Structure 1
């Protein structure tokens, strides 16, 4: 549980677990350092400072909670002020959780990093940089050499987050921050209007924080953004993924392998879209992804993630439905392999972490799959 920053108004203290020491990682299940966790919280407290200090903030939170309790996701995520309040209240903990998950599966994710090219100009300063998908080119009349340096620098990593926004955005930036030579391309797709939050958070992540004009020259020189603007690109698409047909999904994904994340969203898809449409979407996803792509699913554990099926309204665990859909896949040439799975993981935050409001610990289940596309015989 996070220590709340001091405020003018006082409230009765809530019971908290015994404080933990600010070690390199207060919880062995959190795979990022204490400093990294606090940095993420600082990003959110700065980006949503106006929201957190608003007198109407508690009322807005209560309205969101009621909508979530009723599983009325359209109401909970249908307004801009709700989205900003949600991002300020619940996304910080999830960002730490997701960043920890990404770090924990980094060995699998690094296999998706595409090598790029570095251009070294010999007699021209106007060489066009190359993307990860193409070789560099020099303008006519210039002389330049291009060397492939994907092992050490200019590598690209792609992620498609389905039903995600602020927490995934910040966690992805944290993943890139751990590897300065790695650039990332993040696509966020959600039916809710998150574009304003995406813009706000992207600015916060890629702009150096303001410091006093009286700061020392050393402090000014060391002041830098969370990640470099050139290191993180993000694209938000407001779209219900269950309405995407196979060709639209293929166009969005592209030809290069990537990781697709469905974080605290799959249960929502089963609830709102139904078993049939969600199963069809997962099938289309398997037919759209390039060979070697990964699928990461994180959601609430146990009975919190169950879907009601059929007229008899039988309840099935989300994990069972997911495994049944992917691992029992009958489409020729497509095979899913389950790489990692945990039905219950705690993300316990140190009391030494600081945020303008109290944040709770969270528990989740996590499953990682790899797609193998077999060429036709």
Structure 2
């Protein structure tokens, strides 16, 4: 088992390049960004510190096995229905995804810049002391901020968004929406993200002076809503979205919506999203490459690629008052864990597809 490195004082870093990891068929530079290994270790340490008790528990392997069995049976209600399952899931699988998502956010920074207001500012929030707002409307970015609505995601998106704010020195508001009870995990991560890491009592004065949180709590407000997005009314979806342009993410979520909720309901949701999103908003979809969904056509079932279904709905389907433009699209990319990162358990590489769209209103 790999031992976790101590939480080193974090050094501010700006986005330096957008070069993808070396691959046989590398993606365009804009599709994937890079972080220093020091910054990546900082993100991994956040998970290690937040879930230290989980990772060291003798019950951890058994919990992972139970989660895997539930996922294999496609029993998502059981896999994500218990708080201890969610903590174990976040400790095991979210670190890699957080690093991957952070690189994606840096890679699309040129598009995200358009969502930020002209003047710098901090997050104006009536959030509680742990940084959580009671509702999305109680956590609003001032000018210079950016808002992200993550549908069907939590831990990895939370850490990746905080990393993006750190890299770009922006303020932001994060709205998390999921059918599972992630609120406790989100609160744990918010505390780790906005609190300076613990140092050894032998740490030098210089180390103590430079020891800071990944992001100041005044620059990261978040809210969590437990709801099934396919069951939301247009009014409820509008409440989540708000009136200012934002980025909406579906990270390893859209294909599950197609598969579990059905193509009809998911298509209806995407069209409702198009109706309520402010012009200039972005939609980011990340999922497993080669994902397929089935739909009954007469007496037969047909399988459709997730990307085809998405493009058919956004780019080819009829819409009233809005149009979508595809800004970025990659059918298959690798995120490889850099050698030398330290975490209590083994973390694997991951492969994904990525699609970015912008909506215009007429």
Instruction: Sort the TM-score into its range (normalised by shorter chain).
Output: 0.7 to 0.9
Q: CA deviation at 1:116?
A: 4.5
Aligned match of 1:88: 91
Q: CA deviation at 1:68?
A: 1.3
Query: Does residue 306 of structure 1 match 2:295?
Result: no
Aligned match of 2:251: 263
Q: Among 16, 27, 40, which residue is 2:21 paired with?
A: 27
| Partner Cα separation in structure 1 for residue 262 and residue 307 of structure 2 | 15
Query: Does residue 192 of structure 1 match 2:180?
Result: yes
SS at match of 1:355: coil
| Partner Cα separation in structure 2 for residue 167 and residue 212 of structure 1 | 27
SS at match of 2:328: strand
8 Å CA contact 1:115, 1:155 repeated in 2: yes
| Partner Cα separation in structure 2 for residue 290 and residue 280 of structure 1 | 18
Any stretches of 5+ residues in structure 1 without a counterpart? 7-23, 119-128, 133-149
SS at match of 1:257: coil
1:98-117 aligned at under 5 Å gives the runs 98-116=101-119
8 Å CA contact 2:287, 2:352 repeated in 1: yes
Any stretches of 5+ residues in structure 2 without a counterpart? 5-17, 23-31, 126-140
Query: Does residue 316 of structure 1 match 2:304?
Result: yes
Query: Does residue 330 of structure 1 match 2:318?
Result: yes
TM-score normalised by length of structure 1: 0.82
Q: CA deviation at 1:83?
A: 0.3
Aligned match of 2:2: 4
| Partner Cα separation in structure 1 for residue 237 and residue 143 of structure 2 | 27
Aligned match of 1:230: 218
Larger deviation: 28-37 or 38-47?
Answer: 28-37
8 Å CA contact 2:175, 2:240 repeated in 1: no
User: Quick check: which one's helix share is greater?
Assistant: 2
- Alpha-carbon spacing, 1:178–1:130, altered in 2? closer, same or farther (3 Å): closer
SS at match of 1:78: coil
Query: Does residue 175 of structure 1 match 2:161?
Result: no
Q: In the TM superposition, what whole-angstrom CA distance separates every residue of 1:314-340 from its partner, at most 9, and x where no partner exists?
A: 111100000001102312221000111
8 Å CA contact 1:275, 1:309 repeated in 2: yes
Q: Among 42, 45, 59, which residue is 2:45 paired with?
A: 42
| Partner Cα separation in structure 1 for residue 73 and residue 274 of structure 2 | 32
